[in-house]
Amino acid sequence: MSKTNNISIGSMHNSQVQQDAQHSSQHFDQSVQHLDLNAFLEAFSQDISKIDDQVVAQGLRSDVETIRAQNSSPAPKKAIIKDCLGSIKIVLEGAVGNVLASYLPAVITFLGAF
């Protein structure tokens, strides 16, 4: 007896799928994202100093520090992290040709995680 399983997913983030599985289990560990986020914040915060506009640079530093504080909290508020990442994304979208523009794909990925 042959089976055909089809899945059509328009968009999926931080999810798991099992199909035609019996007596199975899954475990999804998102702790790696926290480590990746911390590494991103470290690299990004060092490059903020390369921005000429100090008002924009200070806004980015504030967002980075807020994300760090939430990420190290025992109960991080994902909405706050997502808001700060969204703010960073807006700045990076206007930074075409700037060294910080290279961080845009990572920010978009992290936004999908929160």
pLDDT above 70 (res 31)? no
pLDDT above 90 (res 102)? no
pLDDT in tens, 46-68: 999 888 889 999 999 999 999 99
- Residue 89: its pLDDT value, please? 93
Percent of the chain's residues with pLDDT above 90? 39
- Asked if residue 71 lies in contact with residue 100, where contact means CB atoms within 8 angstroms, the answer is no
Q: What tokens were used for 75?
A: 């109960």
Tally of helices (H runs) and strands (E runs) in the chain: 4, 0
> What is the spatial distance between Cα 67 and Cα 59, in angstroms, rounded to a whole number?
12
User: Which backbone phi and psi does 89 adopt, to 5 degrees?
Assistant: -60, -45
